[in-house]
Structure 1
Amino acid sequence: MAKVYVIHGPETVWHDEVLAALQQRVLESGFGEWNWSIYQGARDFTVDDLLTDLATLPWGAGEKVAVLKNAERVSSEELERLANWLQSQQPAGTLALFFDKLDQRLKWVKGLLALGEEVRCEALQGDALARYITDYCVLQGKTMKHKACELFMEMVSPDLNLVHNELDKLISFVGERVEITERDVAVITSLSPGEAEQNAVFAMTDHIAAGDQKGALQVLECLLNAGESPFRILPLIERQLRLLLAAKTRTGSFEETAQAMGERSAYPLRKASQYAGRFTLDQLYEGFGYIVEADREMKLGSPAEAVLQDLVVRLTVQQSQK
């Protein structure tokens, strides 16, 4: 085993798998509970106990591993002490450092990486994520064709914990049936956090595009009655206008345009494209002006619910006059 493992990146599922593999290695070599220790990083964490642990010989002839989780929470001064000690000493075991984020420009980070092995835990995207999803299904005796997988990826965040949860729900839903279809995905899969509210705003936009003032106000009332803050609803409406504008003016693929906008997936942009043709560019730009006015009024203390109702009315009247 390496002297040091530096594990970093946003995908926590990979973190967990690396941790489990290291623990299994220690358990297989004997005296597992004596040669395995975990430390939790914190702002006030000092490396003294960890250094003592690393300097202590393992029980028996087995592997010894010390783990520091949430290492990004530890001060740079303490991590620099740790790196300097590792550079000048020969530890009696292996050190595994887990970071959510890691600035590789720092001197002590470069020192740690030079001492051992780096394990990047990046979120899967595109074809790599699609292969992971279909392979997961195959291992459970199921299949998912390209179109169904594409829809699944549009609706679910690439966070593998969420992916696993939604796939398990689908696998349970189809029962004895082997294939997971597009319809299964559409019916069973939960939208990523925040997308449920966004779908309500899509519905409001649909009513606005049709000049259906009553329907648009009903959706707004539902959002408010559900406890949504007006200060959260306004940015959702503004985001919807941005999606409509992007869908109307895009020159690249949905995926490229969504990425350029900073969107997590292309799903909202694809959905917005269904309505984009119902708006002129002038109407969309005028709508942004209404958004700015509404934001100013709410911040100046006007009743937020009334401001949003007036905004929806103005957007609906604007569309009905197309």
Structure 2
Amino acid sequence: MPETNLFAIFGTDEGRVNEEGHGLARKLSEGLDPEFGLEVINGQADNADHASQIVGRTLEALQTMPFFGGTKVVWLQGANFFADNQTGKAQATLSAVDSLSDFLEAGVPADVQFLITASEIDKRRAFFKKVKKFAKIATYDKADIKKGGWEREVMDLAWIKAETLKLKIGHEALEHFVRMVGPDTRLLQNELEKLSLFVGEREA
């Protein structure tokens, strides 16, 4: 894929999507004005009218440059109106999202980096197809506990998080921990932090 200034992170693992979004936003905005270089728009809509307002603010942000020139990053964070739900299917939402789709198809301004994160998105709709065509996409879905071997997938991530916390934990103990907590990485992170505080430098 050629270089792009449109990035999207989707997936049912809300915690991982949010974590990766924060990491990418920091990377994209590195070296930019700390006050004006990154504009974050909360994508949690209460209803269709609210979703339309959020899209309107997003479009305005994408077309408004910082006061002192240069480049900027716009992050539509945690959008919940791209999903196949009541708000997502409402005509007001669909019309607003179509406007955003048209803007993306015309091209995000060269001096703007646009990041979208959403835990749910209806992949049947034109919006997703356009994003897929123009954006660099990463997907993080929860491991399916109905499928055998899901623990191994979550274990790999748990090891990384445990090492970051400098938590000493044996393989069997971590495997048992993962089975108890499940595939939700936000919950996994919270419980590992609690365990780290409890055991200190001892091995869990």
Match in the other structure for 2:8? 6
What TM-score does the superposition give when structure 1 sets the normalisation length? 0.49
Whole-angstrom CA distance in 2 between matches of 1:149 and 1:72: 33
Distance 1:165 1:89, change over 3 A: closer
Of Structure 1 and Structure 2, the greater strand share is in: 2
Identical aligned residues as a percent: 25
Distance 1:25 1:62, change over 3 A: farther
CA-to-aligned-CA distance 1:228-254 (integer Å, 9 cap, x gap) = xxxxxxxxxxxxxxxxxxxxxxxxxxx
Distance 1:35 1:59, change over 3 A: farther
Structure 2: state its 5+ residue gaps.
82-87, 144-149
Match in the other structure for 2:117? 98
Whole-angstrom CA distance in 2 between matches of 1:25 and 1:146: 33
Match in the other structure for 2:133? 114
Whole-angstrom CA distance in 2 between matches of 1:88 and 1:140: 44
Letter in 2 for 1:78: A
Tell me, yes or no, if the aligned pair for 1:31 and 1:60 is still in contact at 8 Å: no
Tell me, yes or no, if the aligned pair for 2:72 and 2:113 is still in contact at 8 Å: yes
Structure possessing the higher relative contact order (Cα contacts under 8 Å, 6 or more residues apart): 2
Tell me, yes or no, if the aligned pair for 1:29 and 1:63 is still in contact at 8 Å: no
Whole-angstrom CA distance in 2 between matches of 1:134 and 1:26: 27
What TM-score does the superposition give when structure 2 sets the normalisation length? 0.74
Number of residue pairs aligned between Structure 1 and Structure 2: 179
Q: Kindly report the root-mean-square deviation, in angstroms, between the aligned alpha carbons of the 2 structures.
A: 2.5
Whole-angstrom CA distance in 2 between matches of 1:172 and 1:80: 48
CA-to-aligned-CA distance 1:239-294 (integer Å, 9 cap, x gap) = xxxxxxxxxxxxxxxxxxxxxxxxxxxxxxxxxxxxxxxxxxxxxxxxxxxxxxxx
Distance 1:14 1:2, change over 3 A: farther
Task: Compare CA radii of gyration and give the structure with the larger one.
Answer: 1
Structure 1: state its 5+ residue gaps.
181-322
The one of 76, 89, 95 equivalent to 1:68 is 76
The one of 48, 51, 63 equivalent to 1:55 is 63
SS at match of 1:109: helix
Whole-angstrom CA distance in 2 between matches of 1:29 and 1:62: 11
SS at match of 2:80: helix
